[in-house]
Amino acid sequence: MSLRRIAAASLAAGLLVSACGSSRSPEPEAPPPTGDPATVIAAEEAQWNRDYAARDVERLVSRYAPDATVKIVGAPPLSGRWIRRGIEAGVRDRAFAMTFAHDRIEVARSGDLAYSRGHYQMIMTDRQSGQPRTEYGTYLTVWQKQADGRWRVIEDFNTPGPPPRRPM
């Protein structure tokens, strides 16, 4: 899933991060995946879940195109370095955990745009109680095939809601 409500929680908590980079050297990227775009995007989302579990800021940020926008209820749109800062603040939370799953992936006939729609579960520390809090919601993520053949997120919208009907 995409970033989901991490950025809003981070902004609401007033967390400011001054570092924009990582001290870790980037690993060389594998060639872009090929095949059916919906299958490729499903695989990208599966890896994205693993990146959240690993709290891998670099890999999480790399899911987004340079001009991507993330919009979360109650927060201004985030783009560029603000996406990174939201992710960094979220993964610093000891209680943080994010899982998401698509219910639908549709690819445009042109083959260069797609969307995934689904549900998420996020656990983070509640600012007032200091206790872990679970939030559920839905997302709509717009993907664009980049010049290098990779699919990157260009728009990521999230909204809180009830838990999904089926277990995550």
- Per residue in 97-116, pLDDT (tens digit) is 999 999 999 999 999 999 99
Domain 6-14+34-161 fold: Nuclear Transport Factor 2; Chain: A, (3.10.450)
Contact 158, 3 (CB under 8 A): yes
- Per residue in 130-145, pLDDT (tens digit) is 999 999 999 999 999 9
Closest CA to 65 of 138, 21, 2, 9: 2
- Starting at the edge strand found earlier in the chain, the sheet holding 113-125 runs 78-79, 64-72, 151-161, 132-145, 113-125, 97-107
Q: pTM of the predicted model, to two decimals?
A: 0.80
- Per residue in 30-44, pLDDT (tens digit) is 777 788 999 999 999
Contact 152, 143 (CB under 8 A): yes
pLDDT of residue 75: 81
